[in-house]
């Protein structure tokens, strides 16, 4: 994922359910005459326009060049006013077609076959894409449908993605979001390694402060448009996304986490120490989504791993010594996606919990009993053979804050397997016979550690990860239903009626 989206800072818009905060359209109040232009550039004034100055912009027939210039200049002044910081230079804004964006993204996200096979296993481990899916293609389809605009640190410019560039319309929220990224880049150089995580979880964590600040400014802007500022109207018929037909909601929920949990994270920092506290977090970004979700400084615990694969199975030369860390946010997305997509869902998780906002600036909830208490994880994809004949598996080591947290995760995970008609083979081994995730699984817990081994067959499990002395099966292994570490696999509880219509895409319509 990080190879795909770290190349630019995007504003995400989807027509149902997942969406950043939309600015109020139309004039809320008529502002008084602005002060005279200053003798030198000051915060809240840009290129001839004060932040509270009225402008003559009508987007009903698209933006003229003069209207675009005025719109961008006043928007820059407003970002300066809200962020209390001066732009060092003007920011170019241009319009591109959605097709041009998709082509650009496809070219930038090209990877080698080894990385794709490795990354496919990471997302298959998350039960978000199946064995025959290509994650890079899924990411491209998802972002191609969802991106409304982006700022490119490489080019120092904003590009607005439009379905009708001949009559271009720019949403208020999108423009202000991307201008915040431009301001960040002028002070922090967003193309530096500081703002690129080495793992999936690390990349999302860094985005928690980068996208968090941009979306937080969106919130503040929206509040001003609701009563104090006159804002440019966005025509209701204007397309702000490419449609949802190709949208993988599981992938999107992962990608969206910084946009959701980042704003309250940044707000809490600002409340505690002003913008200086936010600046300190830019110098030392979060290292895990756990830190952003829970506003904590708790560090991931170390995970030591020794490869013991045999009989032709080997680690990929990708990631951190062959592994990736998916983190708490992706674990939540895994359970949410599978609970929502399943016909009856499964015990131990409620997919509607995504709508339980945790505060004023929170968009969606990424907390659950099954994923709270995350301490760290490393997922090691393996392969045997090459090309079309290659077989794949993985070892996933997850550390938890307490044995009870580990037990809760394992119980929910096994319940998810049961929703795929997994059959127990004894000794903590389960087999899913059919479907996108048909494989063998060995799921064990030792204290605070849960280890998941995946392979095509039960025999392959022992080759991908031979059992340690502590993991040797008992002479009479208990059945899953009697084990204290296994779910009941009983009758599922029917889920209640749904509430807010705005969460339709997230909370309704199991497939």
CA distances from 445 to 374, 396, 406, 412, 425 (A): 14, 12, 7, 13, 17
pLDDT greater than 50 at residue 349: yes
SS3 404: helix
Give mean pLDDT, residues 262-285.
97
Per-residue pLDDT tens over the stretch 304-322: 999 999 999 999 999 999 9
Using alpha carbons, select from 399, 378, 257, 258 the residue that is nearest to residue 325: 378
Rounded Cα–Cα distance for residues 500 and 510 (Å):
16
Distance of CA 135 to the CA centre of its chain: 14
Higher pLDDT, 183 or 24: 183
Segments of 287-342 assigned E as strands: 314-315
Distance of CA 397 to the CA centre of its chain: 21
pLDDT greater than 70 at residue 502: no
Bridge partners, residue 45, by sequence: 50
Distance of CA 372 to the CA centre of its chain: 17
| pLDDT at site 139 | 84
Per-residue pLDDT tens over the stretch 398-430: 999 999 999 999 999 999 999 999 999 999 999
| pLDDT at site 344 | 79
What length does the chain have? 511
Per-residue pLDDT tens over the stretch 321-333: 999 999 999 999 9
| pLDDT at site 307 | 97
DSSP 57-110: ---TT---HHHHHHHHHHHHHHHHHHHT---SS---EEEEEHHHHHHHHHHHT-
> Scanning the structure block, which residue is given the tokens 């059959």?
423
| pLDDT at site 163 | 83
Note if the pTM is more than 0.75. yes
> Which of 242-246, 341-345, 467-471 comes out lowest in average pLDDT?
242-246
| pLDDT at site 128 | 97
pLDDT greater than 60 at residue 91: yes
| pLDDT at site 345 | 80
DSSP 4-33: HHTTSEEEE--SSS--PPPPPPS-SSPPPP
Rounded Cα–Cα distance for residues 503 and 283 (Å):
35
């Amino acid at each position: 994922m990080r190879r795909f989206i770290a190349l630019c800072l995007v504003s995400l818009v989807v027509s149902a359910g997942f969406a950043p905060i939309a600015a109020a359209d139309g004039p809320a109040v008529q502002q008084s005459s602005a002060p005279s232009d200053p003798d030198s550039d000051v915060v809240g004034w840009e290129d001839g326009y004060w932040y509270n100055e009225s402008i003559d912009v009508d987007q009903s027939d698209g933006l003229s060049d003069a209207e675009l210039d005025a719109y961008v200049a006043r928007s820059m002044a407003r970002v300066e006013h809200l962020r209390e910081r001066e732009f060092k230079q003007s920011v170019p804004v241009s319009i591109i077609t959605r097709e041009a964006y998709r082509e650009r993204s496809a070219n930038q996200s090209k990877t080698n076959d080894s990385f794709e096979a490795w990354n496919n296993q990471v997302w298959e481990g998350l039960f978000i894409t199946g064995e025959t899916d290509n994650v890079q293609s899924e990411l491209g389809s998802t972002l191609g449908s969802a991106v409304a605009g982006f700022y490119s640190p490489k080019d120092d410019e904003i590009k607005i993605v439009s379905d009708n560039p001949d009559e271009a319309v720019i949403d208020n929220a999108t423009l202000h979001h991307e201008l915040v990224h431009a301001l960040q880049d002028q002070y922090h150089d967003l193309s530096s390694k500081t703002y690129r995580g080495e793992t999936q979880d690390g990349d999302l964590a860094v985005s928690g402060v980068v996208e968090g600040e941009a979306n937080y400014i969106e919130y503040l802007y929206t509040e001003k448009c609701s009563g104090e500022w006159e804002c440019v109207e966005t025509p209701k018929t204007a397309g702000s996304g490419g449609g949802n037909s190709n949208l993988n909601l599981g992938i999107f929920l992962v990608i969206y986490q910084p946009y959701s949990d980042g704003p309250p994270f940044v707000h809490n920092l600002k409340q505690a120490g002003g913008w200086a506290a936010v600046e300190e977090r830019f110098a030392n970004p979060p290292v895990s989504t756990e830190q952003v979700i829970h506003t904590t400084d708790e560090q991931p615990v170390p995970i030591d791993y020794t490869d013991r694969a045999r009989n032709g199975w080997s680690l990929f030369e990708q990631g951190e010594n062959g592994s990736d860390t998916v983190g708490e946010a992706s674990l939540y997305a895994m359970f949410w996606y599978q609970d929502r997509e399943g016909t009856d869902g499964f015990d131990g998780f409620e997919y509607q919990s995504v709508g339980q906002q945790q505060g004023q600036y929170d968009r969606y909830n990424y907390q659950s009993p099954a994923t709270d208490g995350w301490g760290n994880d490393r997922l090691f994809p393996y392969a045997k053979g090459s090309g079309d004949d290659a077989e794949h598996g993985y070892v996933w080591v997850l550390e938890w804050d307490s044995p009870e947290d580990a037990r809760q995760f394992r119980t929910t995970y096994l319940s998810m397997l049961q929703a795929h008609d997994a059959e127990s083979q004894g000794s903590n081994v389960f087999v899913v016979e059919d479907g996108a995730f048909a494989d063998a699984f060995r799921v064990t817990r030792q204290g605070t550690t849960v280890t998941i081994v995946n392979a095509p067959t039960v025999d392959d499990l022992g080759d991908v990860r031979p059992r340690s002395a502590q993991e040797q099966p008992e002479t009479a292994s208990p059945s899953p239903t009697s084990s204290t570490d296994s779910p009941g696999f009983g009758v599922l509880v029917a889920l209640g009626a749904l509430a807010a219509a705005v969460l339709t895409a997230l909370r309704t319509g199991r497939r």
